[in-house]
């Protein structure tokens, strides 16, 4: 301020000082680069600090997970608490539960995932239950969910009579007393389907492994059973004969030959024929419905 009052020498130095403040473009560029490097360095330090902090947290988390896994998978409890739940909501028989407890006692040691899968397979292999799942929600407890298999028919497979469910699953042994107590024994038997292959293999769940032809015949037998049951006709068995088809044995031992599909109209005709025979006081030993448009009736000799 009021520089014109200062001596010339001072005014000259002031002008030179102002000229030094106005640095050259090169100097400005160098200063900008220096600031950029400093900022990057600071960000780098911050990044290292954050990563280091996260590393500690991740390491701690891994240690926690490791301790948890070690506690639940390696260190077995002194006694397992086992809860058995029927996923369909129905009550499971007490003898079924007792059998599961026995299987669990042999299968469970550390409670590892492999043991839980093995327990599920072993329970299914018993032939009592299906859709078995096993989980371990806490250290000393296991929850097993499953459904009781519901047989619809008996079926001859080789020298054994097994159970057939509505979805075509074949399992168990109807002659086994323990299996009988777990499943109500059906009254109708299917025969002939396994005459050509009397010793089929079983899968890990002890279910009969079937071929495509056998599955088709099983579906036919189940369809026939559904139609007969709805008609009110009482039968003992459904038999299959290759090339000829299916035949029924009624409760009074009358043989009904219905052949191959379609079945619905034949069984409807059968109901009408049986009603007519009862009205006329005739007892038939054999009725053949496998000829289109015709029915052959053989009367029983009294």
Q: What is the pLDDT of residues 202-260, one digit of tens each?
A: 887 778 999 999 999 999 999 999 999 888 889 999 999 988 899 999 999 999 999 99
| The pLDDT of residue 179 | 55
Overall number of domains in the chain: 3
Domain shared by 35 and 70, yes or no = yes
Distance, in Å, from the CA atom of 144 to the CA atom of 96, rounded to the nearest integer, reads: 13
Domain shared by 243 and 276, yes or no = yes
- Mean pLDDT, rounded, of the chain: 78
Q: What is the mean pLDDT of residues 263-289?
A: 91
Q: What is the mean pLDDT of residues 31-56?
A: 55
Model's pTM, two decimal places?
0.62
Domain shared by 167 and 206, yes or no = yes
Print the domain residue range for 183.
Answer: 151-299
Domain shared by 232 and 113, yes or no = no
| The pLDDT of residue 23 | 53
Q: At 150, is the pLDDT very low, low, confident or very high (cuts 50, 70, 90)? A: confident
Integer-rounded Cα radius of gyration of the chain: 42
For helices 264-280 and 212-231, the axis angle rounded to 10 degrees is 40
Q: What is the mean pLDDT of residues 133-142?
A: 88
| The pLDDT of residue 237 | 97
Contact 256, 250 (CB under 8 A): yes
| The pLDDT of residue 201 | 93
Q: Which of 148, 175, 198 is the last residue of a domain?
A: 148
* Residue 2 confidence (pLDDT) above 50: no
Distance, in Å, from the CA atom of 255 to the CA atom of 257, rounded to the nearest integer, reads: 6
Cβ neighbours around 106 below 10 Å, total:
10
């Amino acid at each position: 301020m009021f520089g014109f009052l200062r001596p010339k020498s001072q005014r000259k130095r002031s002008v030179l000082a102002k000229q030094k403040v106005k640095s050259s473009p090169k100097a400005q560029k160098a200063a900008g680069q220096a600031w950029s490097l400093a900022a990057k360095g600071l960000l780098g330090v911050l990044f290292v600090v954050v990563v280091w902090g996260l590393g500690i947290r991740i390491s701690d988390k891994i240690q926690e997970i490791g301790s948890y896994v070690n506690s639940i998978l390696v260190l077995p409890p002194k006694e397992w608490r086992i809860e058995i739940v029927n996923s369909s909501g129905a009550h499971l028989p007490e003898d079924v539960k007792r059998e599961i407890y026995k299987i669990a006692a042999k299968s469970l040691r550390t409670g590892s995932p492999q043991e839980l899968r093995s327990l599920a397979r072993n329970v299914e292999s018993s032939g009592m239950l299906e859709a078995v799942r096993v989980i371990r929600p806490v250290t000393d407890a296991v929850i097993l969910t499953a459904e009781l298999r519901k047989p619809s028919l008996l079926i001859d497979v080789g020298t054994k009579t097994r159970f057939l469910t509505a979805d075509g699953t074949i399992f168990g042994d109807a002659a086994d007393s323990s299996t009988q107590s777990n499943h109500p024994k059906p009254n109708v038997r299917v025969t002939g389907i396994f005459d050509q292959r009397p010793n089929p293999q079983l899968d890990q769940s002890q279910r009969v492994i079937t071929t495509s032809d056998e599955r088709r015949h099983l579906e036919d037998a189940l369809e026939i059973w559904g139609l007969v049951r709805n008609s009110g006709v009482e039968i003992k068995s459904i038999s299959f004969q290759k090339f000829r088809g299916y035949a029924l044995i009624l409760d009074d031992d009358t043989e009904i030959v219905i052949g191959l599909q379609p079945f619905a109209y034949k069984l409807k005709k059968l109901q009408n024929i049986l009603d007519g025979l009862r009205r006329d006081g005739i007892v038939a030993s054999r009725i053949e419905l496998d000829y289109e448009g015709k029915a052959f009736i053989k009367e029983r000799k009294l």
